[in-house]
Structure 1
Amino acid sequence: MGCTRLSGLDASFLSVETPTAHMHVGWVAVFSPPADGAFPAFEELRDHIGRRLARAPRYRQKLAPVPFGLNAPEWVDDDSFAVDRHVFEAEGPLSRLVDEVMSIPLRRDRPLWELWVCSEASEDQLAIIGKAHHCMVDGIAAVELGSLLLDATPESPAPEPDDWRPAPSPSGERLVLRGMRDLVSQQLGLARWPMRAAGAPANTARQTAGAALRIGRALGHAVRAAPASSINGALSPLRRLAWTQRPLDDLQKVKRTYGTTVNDVMLAAVTGAIRARMIRRGEYLTPLKAMVPVNVRSPGDVLGNHISFVFADLPCDEPDPLGRLYRVHATMSQRKRDGEPEGADLALKAAEHTPGVVQHAISRIVASPRMFNLVVSNIPGPSEPLYMLSCPLQAVYPVVPLAEEHAVSIGMTTVHKQACFGVYADRASLPDAHLVAADIDHSITELLGAGSQVWLSRRQAADVRSEGAEVPSPVPA
C-alpha cells in the first residue's frame, strides 16, 4: 500500500488529542462458545488475526510526520510490524480490563491499533477489546474493519495469500518536498472555488448558492454556544465504559408506533438518561447540545473518516418521554430538510484547503465545550450473524472518544438483532456511568409503555410543529 496523506479531518483528531483526551475509537466484542463448547486458545486467535491483515493494509502502516509541520503526516509501511505488538492477552474481570485499556493512549511510533483478548470474561463468554485511532478510522470503518476479522459462517475459509513486504520509508527530504507540493495544491484548490462559482453556468451557480446556504445553516447551529453543564470540565486520563443492551425490535417498535426513526428513539432514550442524572444531582433542567455524527461514506470508501455532523438540542427539560421523542424528531427532521449534514461536509472539505495552522485552530474550536456538551453516535453494525473461529458474535459495545472537557459520550451499535449502548466517561468527573447506562434502558422501557399514556398536549404539539416537523399519528403496533 502506497504512502497516503491524512485528510484534514483525519489530521484534526491528532491535533485535538491531549494527555487527558485520547482520540481512539473502540469497541468490546462479546462472543458465545462454539458448537463444541471450547473457546480457541489465545495463540490461535492471534494467528487468525494476523492472517486477516492482508484485508486491511492500513493496519500495518504508521504515521510519518512531515518535518517542520509543513503538512499533515503520511501513512507509511511499518518495517518493524509484528502482530504480537498489537494483539495481547490479559486477565479479567472484563469491565476492569476495558477501563484500563481505554485509559492508555495509543503509541504513535507504530500502527495505531490494539486488540486485547480477555481470558477471563466469564465461563460462557469470550471478549475482545479493540481500539484504533480516530485519525485512522471513524465509527463505521471501525465496525467494518472488525467485520473483516469475522466470517458469515462458523467455518472459516482457507487462509488468503499474503506476500506483504514493507515499502522503504521515505526520507525526510522527500516528506518535505511532497508536503510542500500538496500544500501548494491545497492553496490553489481554495483559490479556484470562487472563480469556478463565478464562471459557472446558471444551474451550477444555483447549486453553488444552495451549497453555500446549507453551509451557512450548518455553521449557524454549530456556532450557537452550548449551555454550561456538569458534564463539561477538566478531565483525568482515566476512563470507564458502562454498557447496556436491548433487542433492536424494541427500538423499531417505538419507531413504527410513533412514526419516527431508530436514531430518534436512541436520541430520546439518551435524553431521558441525561435528564435522570441531572435530577439525581439536583441540577437545573435545560436542553443540552449534542454533536451527532452522520455517515457520508461512499461505497468505495473503507479507511479514514467519512463523517459529517449535525448539532441537535437534547430536550432534557421535557418531563414526558413522548414529548422528548417528538422534540428530537422535529429537530433532526428539520436538520435533514435544511441539508445540514451536507453543508457541514462541504464546510469540512473547504477547511482542508486552508493552511495547517488554520486547520489546527478550527479543530480546537470545534472540539470545545462551547460548541457541544456531548457526542451521541448511532453506529450501524452487521445485520447478519457473524462468527470468529466458530464463536458467534453476540454484542459489540462502542467507545466514542472524549474531546477535552467532555466527560461523557454515548454510542449505539446495532449487531444482528441487538442494540448495544456504550456510555464512555471520564472516571474521575463522571463516576456514575453505570447509572446512565441503566437509565438508557429505563428510557426505552418508558417509550415502549408510552402508548397507554396521554398523547402530547396541544401546547406540546404546537411547539413541535413550530420547529417545522409534523406530529405523526400513532400507528397500531
Structure 2
Amino acid sequence: MNHLSGMDAMFLHIESPEMPMHIGSLNVLDLPPGYTGDFYEDAKKMMSERLHLAAVFTRKLELMPFDLADPVWVEDEDIDIDYHVRHVTLPKPGTNRQLQQYVARLHSSLLDRSRPLWEVFIIDGLKSGQVALYTKVHHAGIDGQAGVAVAKAIFDLAPTGRVIKPPRPRARHNRYQLGIAELASAAARNAVRQYAKLIRMAPSMARAVRDVVVPEKDEHGKRHWSLPDVKVFAPRTLLNTAITNQRSFAGRMIPLAETKFIAKTFGVTLNDVVMGTTAGALRRYLREYDDLPDKPLVAAVPVSLRAQGDESANNQVSMLRMSLGTDVADPVERLKVIHESSDAGKAMMSRVKTVIPSDFPMLGSPWLVSGIASLLGRSRLANVVPPFANLIISNVAGIPVPLYYAGASVACYYPVSIPAHSMALNVTVQSYNGRLDYGLIACRRTLPDVNDLGDYLLAEHQTLLARAQAHEKESENVKAPAPAMIESAPPATTVTRSRGKTERKLKLVADTAAAPRKRAAARTRRTG
C-alpha cells in the first residue's frame, strides 16, 4: 500500500457532488489518411497495453476504519478496461460546440471511488471527420505537472507508436479489501512519520516566517516586525457564489509565438500575458453585466513546488494570489500592474516555497474536512462570505512537439479543470506544439455564456498583439538613422550672396529633408 500525502487527501475530502475534484483534457484527433478501422477498439487496446506505465491507472483507494485517517493507495488486480475506456457518438450535426457541451456534462459527474480514479472517452460523430479524446483523472492522484507525465505514457511522438514492454508478472493476492487491523496499524505508522517530518521542518518553517515579515521602525527609531500589506479578500462579483454540479466549457487557441512576442515587446513574462489576456476578457464580460468592481479582481494561481525532474504522481502545489488590474482601462498599463503583482508574489513564494508542507497529519480529516466542505456549499455560505479570490487561473507547461494517440495526430490539447465554491470560473492554459490552448470551465448556472468570455479572450489577445506591433514599429522608427539631408545640403560657406537667397536655399533643403518623413507618415495613416 502507498499512503496519500496530506495534500493529496485534501482533494478527496473537499470533494462533493457539487464540486467534483478531477482534472482532465480534451484532445481533437486527426485520423490517419484512409483509416478504415474501429478507432475505439484501437484506443482501448493501446490503453490496456500501457496501464503499467503510470501508477494512476492501476491503483485504487482503500478507506481507513471509521474514516479516522487518510486512505491509502492499493493495486487493483482486476481492472475493467471496458469500464474505464468508453465510446460516445455525438448526435448530428456534430459541431465543435456540441462536443464542448458534452465534455462539460461528462466533467460534472463523480468518479467511482471503488475503482482506479480515471476515465477515458472516445467521442466520434464530429462533422469534421475528426475524433475527440476526453480524459479525466482525480486530482488526488496528480497535479498539472504530473498530468504531463501521464500524457507521456499514453501519447507517442510518431504515428507508428512505440514498442511497449509488458509489465513484469507479479503474484496475485486475490484480496478485494485489506483487513481492519492492517489498515489501522498502517495509519498509525504513517501518522508518526508525518509528525516526525513536521518536527524536522519546524526550524526551516520558522526561518521562512521570519523572512516573510517586514522589519519596520517607528517614530522613535525602534524596530518592530509586521506582516506585508496583503489584501485578505477579493471584491465580490457574480463569479463568487456557491456552485452546482452543472458545468459549461469553452476551449480557445492562441498562437504561442504571438504571446511570446507580446511578452518580449512589453518586458513581461508569458504567464503575465496569459493573466492580462484573461483580465481584459473578464473586464469586458463583467462590464456587460454592470458588475465590474472598482477594486481589481484577484486570481488564485497554483504554483508548483516540484523539484526539477520530479514526475511522481502526486500533488506538490501551493496557491498564489495575484491582482489582475481590472480597475485599469488601458490593456498595456494593466499588463504592467499584473507584472508587478506577479513579481511581488513570486518573491514571497521563493522565500517559503521549500518549507511549505505537502504532507501533514490530521486526525479524523476525512469526516471533518468533508463536513466543512459540505457545509460551505449546501448552506450557501459562499454567497455571503467575502471571497478569497475571484477565479482560478493556471498555466501548465506542456509538450512543444506533435503528439499521436493510437496512430491519430493530436490537433489540440484543451485542459479541463475545477471550478470551486466562491470561484465559479477556472481558466487553465496548456502549451502544446506552438499554441496555447485555453480551457474555460465554469458552473453553468453562474456562467451559462462562457463561450462569450472565450471570444472576449481572443479579442483581448488581438488588442495586445496590435499594441505590441505598434510599439515595435515606433521603436524601429526611433532607432532608424535620420534621412541623408545634411549630406545633400550645400556647405554653409557657399550661402553668402544675400539673405533672401540664403533663406530660399535653406527652405529648399528643409523641404527636401522633410519629404521622406511626410511620405512615411502618410503610409502609416493609410495602413492604420
C-alpha distance in 1, partners of 2:350/2:119? 31
Mapping of residues 25-424 of structure 1, within 5 Å: 25-38=23-36, 40-92=38-90, 93-163=98-168, 167=173, 168=175, 169-194=177-202, 197=203, 210-213=207-210, 224-285=232-293, 286-298=295-307, 299-338=309-348, 340=349, 343=352, 346-349=355-358, 352-357=360-365, 360=369, 370-424=387-441
1:290-312, Cα deviation, whole Å (9 max, x unpaired): 11111222313320112222111
Give the 3-state SS of the residue equivalent to 2:159 in structure 1: coil
Question: Structure 1 216/173 Cα, relative in aligned 2: closer, same or farther at 3 Å?
Answer: farther
Contact 2:118–2:135 (CA under 8 A) maintained in structure 1: yes
Question: Structure 1 348/371 Cα, relative in aligned 2: closer, same or farther at 3 Å?
Answer: farther
Task: Give the AA of the match of 2:209.
Answer: A
C-alpha distance in 1, partners of 2:48/2:422? 37
Question: Structure 1 342/50 Cα, relative in aligned 2: closer, same or farther at 3 Å?
Answer: farther
Task: Give the AA of the match of 2:208.
Answer: A
Unpaired runs of 5+ residues, structure 2, are 91-97, 215-226, 473-528
Question: Structure 1 356/193 Cα, relative in aligned 2: closer, same or farther at 3 Å?
Answer: farther
Question: Structure 1 370/222 Cα, relative in aligned 2: closer, same or farther at 3 Å?
Answer: farther
Partner residue, 1:448: 465
| Structural RMSD (CA) | 2.8
Unpaired runs of 5+ residues, structure 1, are 198-206, 456-477
Q: How many residues align?
A: 439
Task: Give the AA of the match of 1:105.
Answer: L
C-alpha distance in 2, partners of 1:150/1:5? 28
C-alpha distance in 2, partners of 1:130/1:222? 38
C-alpha distance in 2, partners of 1:94/1:76? 35
1:185-207, Cα deviation, whole Å (9 max, x unpaired): 3234334544xx3xxxxxxxxx6
C-alpha distance in 1, partners of 2:318/2:241? 25
1:132-176, Cα deviation, whole Å (9 max, x unpaired): 111011122223212311111121123421245555443121011
Task: Give the AA of the match of 2:100.
Answer: S
Give the 3-state SS of the residue equivalent to 1:376 in structure 2: strand
1:402-439, Cα deviation, whole Å (9 max, x unpaired): 22232111010011111100110111111111011111
Question: Structure 1 256/343 Cα, relative in aligned 2: closer, same or farther at 3 Å?
Answer: same
Task: Give the AA of the match of 1:172.
Answer: I
Calculate percent identity across the aligned residue pairs: 27
Question: Structure 1 318/139 Cα, relative in aligned 2: closer, same or farther at 3 Å?
Answer: same
Partner residue, 1:463: none
Give the 3-state SS of the residue equivalent to 2:451 in structure 1: helix
Give the 3-state SS of the residue equivalent to 1:121 in structure 2: coil
Task: Give the AA of the match of 1:292.
Answer: V
Using structure 1 for the length normalisation, give the TM-score: 0.85
Partner residue, 1:428: 445
C-alpha distance in 2, partners of 1:39/1:214? 62
Using structure 2 for the length normalisation, give the TM-score: 0.77
Contact 1:12–1:363 (CA under 8 A) maintained in structure 2: no
Contact 2:15–2:370 (CA under 8 A) maintained in structure 1: no
Give the 3-state SS of the residue equivalent to 2:82 in structure 1: helix
Contact 1:222–1:371 (CA under 8 A) maintained in structure 2: no
